[in-house]
Each structure stands twice: as structure tokens, then as C-alpha cells.
Chain A
């Protein structure tokens, strides 16, 4: 429809229901799920050199997942009624299964962490395997929250849960890299040179793994956008909003360029051996993912529906 001749003389603007608390919540669950998966991988591989990373991540996962729902509760207009979620649950709402997942997962995560720290390898492995689907669900469901809000064209795509999962992996690994690097730099002094070299290689490998996942992420985003641009007009608008509209600087500039392309080059390019470059890349990756949460949550709601 050609709307150049249309003057909207009067209408009202609407509230933005979900604000950055929700974006932050998505960000933290993502970090948690990402670190948990890394931790479990480390545990499963059972190699000694992975141990420290397995430990850090085992601790990070539940901690992050306690911070995450705080955002959720803060976002509630009636925070003191959060218990209604459990008493008056509604199984057709993704938030309902989310609330149960959000309770089960940290509990499981704490037990897992105890196992890891008390060196009960076998129990940790079993719990880890059981925990991965839980971790994936916890984060995947956040993608479903958006995807099932049919009203918002930017969210209402089948790729949304996967994109959320993959970007969670990216940011989770990024965080692990940062922490592992910090440990390597400041708290690893007692280790032998050889050990330090090994640790460094591990961190570099982790970063490279991150870069490959970024590629996957970029592919998913690209396909999502291509579909948006060719689907119905609302979807097209949503696509254009992040490509050329108000959210383009954040999406193209921060999320894609600074948060994906630059880190990929830093990690895979000539600086791939530099710890500094890797850490910068990991920080950038997290900034990028945070921006992605912003673009999704706020951008998705910024197209008026009326």
C-alpha cells in the first residue's frame, strides 16, 4: 500500500510493555546456559586441563541463573505476587513452563556444582547429561516467549528459539573465555610454564569454538531476516526496522559488526594467538549479544500495531 498520501491525524502511542529487564533476563539466562553447556562438555571430556574451566563454569551457571530471574521479578508490576505463577499456572503460556524450568534448573545446577567441586565425576557426568536439556529448555523457552507472541512480527519466527540458544552459547563461551583468561593472567602464576602454555592453548581453542558458533549464529540471523523481508508486510517492516530503521545502528553496527564480525576476525585472523585480542573479542561478543537482546525485545515492540 502506498502510504505517502496518508496523514495520521490522530492516534495514540502505546506503552512498551517489556523493557530492558526482560532483555537482561534473556542475557543472563543465555550466559548461564552457555556456561553450563561448556562446563558439562569439560566434565564429559574428563581431561585434566579442562578441569579448571569446568569448575568455573559449574559455579557461574547457577549464580547467573539466580541473577536472571531477579530481573524478571523486578519487571513485574506486582512483584509480591510472583508466587501466583506457581499456584495459578496456565499450561498454554510459555511463561508457565518457564517458571517451573527456572526453579528446577538452578537447583539442579547447584547440585551439579557441588558434584564438580567435590570431585564426584560420575555423578557430575550423569547430572550434566540430564542438565543439558534443562539448560537448553531454560534458554530455549525465552526464545519461545518471544516466538509465541504472534503479534510481534520480529519475534514470531520459528528460528527465534534457536537463535536465542546459539547466541546464548556465544555469550556463554565469551564469558568463560574472559574468566579463564583472567585466571590465567592473575591467578595461574603458580603453574608451570608448560601448564600455562597448555591453558593458553585451551583458551584459544575455546575462543575459536566461539567464532564457529558465531558463524552459525550469523547464518541463522541471515536466514531469519531473509524470510522476514519476503513474508507479509508486518514482517517486512520488522526486517526494515533493524536493517534501515531506528534499530539499524544497534543491530548492524553493534550486534553484527562489533559483536560478531570483529570478534571473528580477532579470533581467527592474524591476532588469533594474542590473549589480549581474544579477550577483547569475548567482551565484544557479550556487548553484541546484549545489543541483540535489546534489539529483539525493544525493537520487536516498537512497531505500532494499530
Chain B
């Protein structure tokens, strides 16, 4: 059997910005308050009455060329054969270099366990033949997960028949989370002129 290559496609034509994926992940991965393995970015652009809102569900891209794994000094972060980038919770020393190295802000220190975590495509569910928790919960089926190397899988067909983008292509990490019809601005970094209505995780300065 060919090697699997897991990937996720998020179809922004279907996403309704409901945060179900965020909460699914909190529950599935026991992600504490303050931190998020996946979250939703929402921006508004355009002047009244031509204003629109754009969403972007964010999570670890489980990159093919994962800088986090390359920079991890203990090989606690490593890639599985199927492409999922995982963190060995027992090996990680918590040097946080991977967090600093990831171009997507997707890793965090679990404040209750003092260990580095991130989305790992729900490897435990995938291994049991289940979809990731966020994918299962998505009310509008905006998220599709599967094996890219299987031509018959829904994800391969979606990728084949749609234009897709990834976050920060220029980082050459080759993300495995693809977006269909994502807005360019919401995909870019937060720049000037921002206005945080609601802030999530606080920036913790632990001096």
C-alpha cells in the first residue's frame, strides 16, 4: 500500500465562522484556557455598505518541511510516515524553540502541563479510523480531511478540482492545510490599523 499523506482542506465558501472547530479541539485535545491549537481569525473589510467579513480557521499545517521539527533539539517533534507532525510529550524539554520557529503561531505551552503542544491532526482518532474532531463537528462540512496519496479520496478530488492556497508559501514549509477561496487579507499577517474587539489568549510575559 502506498504511503499515506494526510492533509486538510478548508473550503471557505462553506465556512460560516461558527467556532465549532475551536471548541471541538478544546474538548478533544483537552486544550486549556488561554491557549488554542486551532482558532478562528475573523476580519472585516470594505466600507459600508460593501462590508464583508472573512474567516480563517487556523491550526498547525503539519508541514511537509516542518521548521519546528528541524529545529527541535531533542527530536521530540518529528514527522510520522503519514506526514503528521507530532510532539513526543515525554521527550519534549520545553525549550520552546519550535514555537519561536513556527511561522504560523500554531504551537503553545500547555499552562497546566508545561509541555509544548499543537494540532497533530488528531492522530489518535485518525489511527482509529475516525476523522479529526474539528472536521467531524463542522456544521457545514467546510473541513475535509484525508489521504492525498489516495486518488479516490474526497480530499484528493477537492484538491484536484479547486484552486487552493496555503499560508505563507514563501516560508517553504509546504503546509498540508489547504484553503479554498480564502481571502488574501485574512491570510496575511495582522498589520497596522487593526482593532481587536475580542482578544483570545493573552500574551504572557513570564519574566
**Which residues of A come within 8 Å of B, CB atoms?**
1, 3-20, 72, 75-79, 81-82, 84-85, 88-90, 92-96, 98-99, 145, 148-152, 232-234, 237, 298, 301-306
Determine whether B198 belongs to the interface, using a CB cutoff of 8 Å to chain A.
yes
Contact A81 B170 (CB under 8 A): no
Selected contact of A6 from candidates B43, B67, B91, CB within 8 Å? B43
Q: List, sorted by A's number, 29 A–B pairs whose CB atoms are closer than 8 Å.
A: A3-B185, A6-B43, A6-B193, A6-B194, A8-B41, A8-B42, A8-B194, A8-B195, A9-B44, A9-B53, A9-B198, A12-B39, A13-B201, A14-B108, A14-B201, A15-B204, A17-B99, A18-B97, A84-B76, A84-B93, A89-B75, A93-B73, A95-B73, A150-B171, A151-B103, A152-B100, A237-B189, A305-B102, A306-B104
Write out the residue numbers on chain A whose beta carbons fall within 8 Å of the beta carbon of B67: 149-151
Instruction: Please tell me if the beta carbons of B92 and A9 are within 8 angstroms of each other in the complex.
Output: no
A151 contacts B100, CB within 8 Å? yes
The reply to whether A151 and B102 form a contact with Cβ atoms under 8 Å apart is yes
Chain B 58-72 against A: per-residue CB contact (8 Å), 1 yes, 0 no?
100000000100111
Contact A149 B96 (CB under 8 A): no
Q: Which of B39, B94, B100, B116 contacts A11 (CB 8 A)?
A: B39
Which 4 A-B pairs have CB atoms at the shortest separation, nearest pair first?
A: A77-B94, A12-B200, A17-B99, A95-B73
Please report which residues of chain B, range 155-207, place their CB below 8 angstroms from some CB of chain A when the two chains form the complex: 167, 170-171, 184-185, 188-207
Residues in B lying within 8 Å of A, measured CB to CB: 35-36, 39-47, 53, 58, 67, 70-76, 91-97, 99-109, 114-116, 167, 170-171, 184-185, 188-207
Chain B residue contacts of A8, Cβ below 8 A: 41-43, 190, 194-197
**A10-B197, A13-B199, A78-B114 are contacts. A85–B191 as well, Cβ < 8 Å?**
no
Complexed CA–CA distance, A5 and B198 (Å): 18
CB distance from A262 to the nearest CB of B (A): 27
Give Cα A306–Cα B71 distance, bound, in whole angstroms. 20
A88 touches B44 (CB 8 A): no
- Name the prevailing secondary structure of the A interface residues: loop
| Bound: A215/B185 CA distance, A | 41
Residues of A within 8 A of B97 (CB): 17-18, 93, 95, 145, 149
Contact A19 B205 (CB under 8 A): yes
**Which of A7, A152, A298, A305 contacts B104 (CB under 8 A)?**
A305
Asked if A19 and B94 make an inter-chain contact with CB atoms under 8 angstroms apart, the answer reads no
Q: State A14–B109 Cα separation when bound (angstroms).
A: 10
What chain B residues lie within 8 Å of A90 (beta carbons)? Answer: 72-75
Residue of A nearest to B195 (CB): A7
A1 touches B200 (CB 8 A): no
Which residues does chain A contribute within 8 Å of B91, judged by CB atoms?
81, 84, 88
Question: Is the CB–CB distance between B171 and A5 below 8 Å?
Answer: no
A70 CB → nearest B CB, Å? 14
For residue A96, which residues in chain B have a CB less than 8 angstroms away from its CB?
73
- What are the residues of chain A within 8 A of B73 when measuring CB–CB? 85, 89-90, 93, 95-96, 98-99
Q: Which residues of A contact B75 (CB under 8 A)?
A: 88-90
Please state if B201 and A234 are interface contacts (CB–CB under 8 Å).
no
Quick check: A77 and B42 within 8 Å, CB to CB? no
A44 CA to B39 CA, complexed, in Å = 59
| Chain A residue nearest to B108 in the complex (CB) | A15
Give the distance to chain A from B190, nearest Cβ to Cβ, in Å: 5
Q: Which residues of A contact B42 (CB under 8 A)?
A: 8-11
Contacts of B103 in A (CB 8 A): 150-151, 305
Q: Across the interface, do A14 and B185 meet the contact criterion of CB distance under 8 Å? A: no
| Contact present for B71 and A94 (CB under 8 Å) | yes
- The contact of A150 among B39, B53, B101, B203, by CB within 8 Å, is B101
Q: How far is the CB of B99 from chain A (nearest CB, A)?
A: 4
B73 to chain A, nearest CB (A): 4
Of the residues B100, B170, B207, contact of A232 by C-beta under 8 Å: B170
